[in-house]
Amino acid sequence: MAKRGLLIVISGPSGVGKGTVRELLMGDRELDLVYSVSYTTRAMRPGEKDGVDYHFVDETTFRKMVAEGGFLEHTNFVSHNYGTPKKEVFAALEEGHNVILEIEVNGAHQIMKKCKGENLLTIFILPPDRETLLERLVGRDTEDPEVIKARLEKASRELAMAKDYDYQIVNDDLGKAVEAIRSLIRARLG
């Protein structure tokens, strides 16, 4: 039987670069990473693909999944629901793959509680400063001004929770941040 994989949780405020870092990490075949595609009720952004970036579902479908216990964790983030599918994550871990969850702080806390003592690595990505975070969020050009405002307000509360994670990594130079996270994962994999 394969050795159970490592569950890796990556959080950080909206626009800090989680998705960018994750995609670069996924390119390293040696890490044997599987990205857990979440379910969400938010609208698809231009360029996103259903089943790749998220499983885009309506409220009714999401609530049904919650009722059936289909999520490992789930939460509401700035007016939309997000959840990690339990079955897929457990199946990949059982097969020995390492699974990356890119989720916000509420969901991460649920995982920390549920998976205490298990093979879990939690990493919080920090921005160099608030101005840079705003620049990245605005520069990405995917949200309306009022959504950007709501996400920035949320960011302050999220940053206060960075200390609850195993490691905090500043995403200033992208290459260095990816390398730092890659080293943390490698060290845990032994």
Binding site for ligand ADP (CB under 6 A): 12, 14-20, 136, 139-140, 171, 174
Least Cβ distance, residue 163 to ligand ADP (angstroms): 19
Q: How far is CA 158 from the centre of its chain?
A: 13
**Per rule CB under 6 A, is residue 73 in the interface with ligand 5GP?**
yes
Nearer CB in complex with ligand ADP: 93/137: 137
CA distances from 59 to 16, 45, 50, 79, 81 (A): 27, 18, 16, 11, 8
Instruction: Identify residue 162 by its one-letter amino acid code.
Output: A
Q: Which residues pair with 100 in a beta bridge?
A: 8, 35
d(CA 109, CA 22): 20
Least Cβ distance, residue 17 to ligand ADP (angstroms): 3
**Per rule CB under 6 A, is residue 122 in the interface with ligand 5GP?**
no
Helix axis angle for 174-189 and 18-26, nearest 10°, is 60
Least Cβ distance, residue 127 to ligand ADP (angstroms): 9
Residues lying near ligand 5GP in the complex (CB under 6 A): 14, 18, 38, 42, 73, 75, 77, 82-84, 102-104, 106-107
